[in-house]
Amino acid sequence: GAVVSQHPSWVICKSGTSVKIECRSLDFQATTMFWYRQFPKQSLMLMATSNEGSKATYEQGVEKDKFLINHASLTLSTLTVTSAHPEDSSFYICSARSDYEQYFGPGTRLTVT
Amino acid sequence: AQKVTQAQTEISVVEKEDVTLDCVYETRDTTYYLFWYKQPPSGELVFLIRRNSFDEQNEISGRYSWNFQKSTSSFNFTITASQVVDSAVYFCALSGYSSASKIIFGSGTRLSIRP
């Protein structure tokens, strides 16, 4: 099946700094990519939907100025957590859609100290 | 609005027992997809099944089987002869039919299989 990669797989950063997470579709072109966040022992909550070349659509309650999403090409989307705080510590999972199939990345574990 | 409910937060059974994970969904769409995913401790989601709303046939894959009942808006998942390796969190999910539709997840059921 199609492969979606995320980089890094885990990251530790200091409070107040920004961190960028990359999501790549390795063997297909993804017109739409999704970013999810999962806190410990909770479900995956959709943060935003991004389409290549256009602005991301954020879910209610997600701060678009804090979670910057760039879908620069059909194979790459990035999520930047700006001015990270400990409460942003979470597991971030991206998903890429090709036609009617959706594939999930392995996730990025962010810890903000 | 779309919603997926997994009422069972945690289930613990002894190995070789059969176990059923319940899933109830709500949607106003007439066409939609239903999914089950497994999330082991590593965190990576493992795709198990996608079911089209047009197709109410039950599906069996090895020890796994799925019962889709449109009349009760349920999509239950049964593991037969459970094994320790089945221990994980299982998510039921729902999406619309269009290529831009997003997948909405239930709260998950943590399944523990005791040896």
Q: Is the Cβ of A102 closer than 8 Å to some Cβ of chain B?
A: yes
Residue-level pLDDT at A98: 82
pLDDT recorded at residue B43: 93
Residues from chain A that touch B106, judged by Cβ atoms under 8 A, are: 43
Q: Which neighbouring-strand residues pair with B19?
A: B79
Q: What percent of chain B has pLDDT over 70?
A: 100
Rounded to whole angstroms, how far apart are CA atoms A4 and A98? 11
Give the model's pLDDT for residue A51. 87
SS3 percent helix, strand, coil of chain A, rounded to 5, is: 5, 55, 40
Give the separation between CA B58 and CA B92, rounded to whole angstroms. 16
Residue A4 · residue A95 · CB < 8 Å: yes
Q: What is the pLDDT of residue B18?
A: 98
Question: Which of the four pLDDT bands, split at 50, 70 and 90, describes residue A7?
Answer: very high
Residues A25-83 pLDDT 10s? 998 998 899 999 999 999 999 999 998 888 899 999 999 999 999 988 999 999 999 99
Mean local confidence (pLDDT), A20-27: 95
pLDDT at site A67: 97
Kindly report the backbone phi and psi dihedral angles of residue A5, in degrees, each rounded to the nearest multiple of 5, phi listed first.
-110, 155
pLDDT at residue B57 in the model: 86
Inter-chain CB proximity B105 and A43 less than 8 Å: yes
Q: What is the pLDDT of residue A99?
A: 74
Mean per-residue pLDDT over chain B, rounded: 95
CB atoms near residue B53 (< 10 Å): 19
CB contact under 8 A, A43 and B91: yes
Smallest Cα distance from A73 to chain B, Å: 17
Residue A52, pLDDT score: 83
Report d(CA B21, CA B34) in Å as an integer: 14
Task: Give me the pLDDT at residue A72, please.
Answer: 84
| Residue range A45-56, pLDDT digits in tens | 999 999 888 889
pLDDT in tens, B8-64: 999 999 999 999 999 999 999 999 999 999 999 999 999 999 999 998 888 999 999
State how far the alpha carbon of B97 is from the alpha carbons of A47, B26, B101, in Å: 20, 14, 6
Mean pLDDT across B81-104: 92
Return the pLDDT at A31: 84
For residue B45, the distance in angstroms to the closest alpha carbon of chain A comes to 7
Query: Residue A21 — very low, low, confident or very high, per pLDDT cuts 50/70/90?
Result: very high
The alpha-carbon gap from B106 to the nearest alpha carbon of chain A, in Å, equals 7
Instruction: Give the alpha-carbon dihedral of A10, A16, A17, A22, to 10 degrees.
Output: 50
* Cα four-point dihedral sign B67, B40, A89, A37: negative
